[in-house]
Chains A and B, each alone.
Chain A
Amino acid sequence: MKYKNLNNYAFPDKEGRFGEFGGKYVSETLITALEELEKVYAKVKKDKSFQEEVIKDLNDFVGRPSPLYFAERWTKKLGGAKIYLKREDLNHTGAHKINNTVGQVLLAKKMCKKRVIAETGAGQHGVATATVAARHGLECIIFMGEEDIERQALNVYRMKLLGAEVCSVDSGTKTLKDAMNEAMRDWVSNVEDTHYIIGSVAGPHPYPEIVRDFNSIVGKELKIQSKKEFGKYPDIIVACVGGGSNAMGIFHPFIKETKTKLVGVEAGGSGVKSGKHAAPLSDGKVGVLHGMKTYLMQDKNGQILSTHSVSAGLDYPGVGPEHAYLRDIGRVEYQSATDQQALKSFHDLTKTEGIMPALETSHALAYVNKIAPKLSKSKIIVINLSGRGDKDMFTVAKEDGMTL
């Protein structure tokens, strides 16, 4: 299926779907909570004072707008298209994740919830949630897979310093998907006083819409910045995709701008053909998990497969339903980068630009590393530099055979 006209692109529809994807596949107990969230969100979306409150926090607390930076030395090194970085790593707490949590915590307060919960993989969403919970004085519980707790020890400590309780999840594969299962279990048990701050454009409706909207500040800023900087929109925008929130945030305002090519880069792990990866859009099948219909890594019996990626934040067997739809209509191209390619790009950017990217982000860099040299110097590529790499020091050192 190839898209024809995107002028009327307005998803999700009334049923919370993006084409066949999305929906609300949750237990009956959660339906009321989702309906309430849907209602409140529809109201605040049109509420000027709420939107102003969000913008104020994005400016004064997060430090927006984030700069659009010309990576001059890296561009020269690759010798092709001009490469710009949208510096989400400069946000408070070091990643794009806070764009969503500053908005959702205000939603939680609107609904008079005094407790927030969240799942986290790399720990960035956990930190971003713990941060806004501290700022608003809410009780905060973060669910994190045992394996991730080990590889992201710094972020675990940050969350604790911020006053959050970090719950270790030892079921299943002990990573992000299991943390999400556990968060769902907590939510269903405490649904009356708790708001679940989902950290990606995933989960049941209306989450994919809410998280997208709060993150789309990135794409909106880029529209203004690119017009100012080079008098047109970028030729290509590249972002890494796990659940897909940073990618959706930068893509969404450009969906109708069809001259701009959009590329999402999934975690190729040891290579898509090896089966050891986290790239459901490249090598998955349609199914239902965590409240949504989307592409999933699964076996023929519908069991969710364990994933592999060097980056905890991309180590997820599913992907946001809007990405599934954009893939199927051909509006966004989805590629993958392996662990090794991502690690190489991590080092490249660190050494040539003095910017240390997150391992998640490094997947997007790896793809650009491949295509930029083949493109003419007049082409402009923007990468969503979704997060900084400080949290990944232990992983990178380990990959390099060192102990810290």
Chain B
Amino acid sequence: MTRLEEVFNKKETKNKVLVTYTVAGDPNLESSKKILNDLIASGADILEIGVPFSDPMSEGPVIQKAHERALKKNIQFKDILNLCKQIRIKNKNVPIVLMGYMNSFLSLKNKLAKELNKAGVDGVIVVDLPYDESKSFFNNLKKESIDLIRLISPTTDSKRMKRMLASSSGYLYYVSLKGITGAELKNFKEVKNKVKKIKSLTNLPVVVGFGIKDAPTAKKMASFSDGIVVGTKIIDFIEKKSSQQISSFTKSLKKAIN
């Protein structure tokens, strides 16, 4: 069983999965490591680690600034892999998923999957790699048992969903709104219906992300999904250098969704 499968199987004891998103190297590598370990200690079940990119097209202003802060520290891909290794030394079980943009992953060329595997990375989310363009990328990752986590959006119709689900693994990330990270989430009912639809088509776990900024919303979203992703709000605290709030906020989310 992969680390991701294990985490979601624990769910059968009714735990919902808490996924956190932070950017590697924001505000610097040392702090990043500490923040990630704090997140684990406060209840994060899966770590999505953002790969900072010069042109983060899907991010709202808060996460854009996080990418810029990390890049100012000249974070290299190899630093991110090192960071993952260090997390892995302390924690054998927490799944690590790298999330970023295609050009960053391309920079490792054909070594990518092997390097990810060596660093203890479990999955990859590529924001600008839709299903249609992903065949060879997906197959390359598969050789090293790295999951390519698919994003499904409100505009994805069922026909397309079925095609995507045929080559998906790990979990599915439902983007709750048409927009960028940190935008306002308005239509709960639509999210619920869409998640139900996805779950009727697959056995893979479905987590919901984008626009979740407080415990009540997290609770609501978790009630019909397998977990939630929180990014912008945590990064807000990182920007304000408030590590205590990161922990207490994460704990409150964990409590709310269980």
Contacts and interface: CB of A to CB of B under 8 A. Distances in A.
Interface of A: 15, 23-33, 171-172, 177-178, 181, 184-185, 188-192, 287-291, 296, 298, 300-304
6 contacts: A25-B130, A27-B153, A28-B131, A28-B175, A181-B55, A304-B54
Contacts of A296: 103
Interface in B93-109: 101-107
Contact of B53 (A29, A178, A189, A303): A303
B25 to A, nearest CB: 12
A29 B133 contact: no
A73 B129 CA distance: 53
B209 to A, nearest CB: 12
A27 B57 contact: yes
B152 interface: yes
Contacts of A288: 101-103, 106, 128
Chain B binding site: helix, strand, loop or mixed by DSSP?
loop
Given A188-B180, A301-B76, A303-B53, A27 B130 contact: yes
A24 B58 contact: no
Given A33-B155, A181-B55, A300-B107, A27 B179 contact: no
Q: Which 5 A-B pairs have the closest CB atoms?
A: A302-B107, A189-B179, A29-B153, A302-B103, A32-B155
Interface in B41-56: 53-56
A28 B102 CA distance: 13
Given A189-B180, A287-B103, A288-B102, A28 B77 contact: no
A114 B132 CA distance: 29
A25 B129 contact: yes
Contacts of B160: 31
A304 B128 contact: no
B133 to A, nearest CB: 5
Nearest to A298: B103
Contacts of B180: 185, 188-189
Nearest to B127: A27
A304 B178 contact: no
Name the residue in B55, B61, B64, B179 with the highest tally of chain A Cβ atoms < 10 Å from its Cβ: B55
A177 B128 contact: no
B183 interface: yes
Nearest to A23: B133
B157 interface: yes
A302 B55 contact: no
B221 interface: no
Contacts of A303: 53-54, 71, 104
B67 to A, nearest CB: 9
Contact of B104 (A177, A184, A191, A301): A301
A109 to B, nearest CB: 21
A181 B57 contact: yes
Contacts of B103: 287-289, 296, 298, 302, 304
B151 interface: yes
A25 B58 contact: no
B216 interface: no
Interface string B125-163: 001111111000000000000000011111111001000
A379 B167 CA distance: 57
A39 to B, nearest CB: 14
Contacts of B183: 189
Given A28-B150, A188-B58, A298-B103, 8 more contacts: A26-B130, A27-B175, A28-B131, A30-B155, A31-B156, A184-B57, A287-B107, A291-B128
B55 A289 contact: yes
Contacts of A28: 130-131, 150-153, 155-156, 175
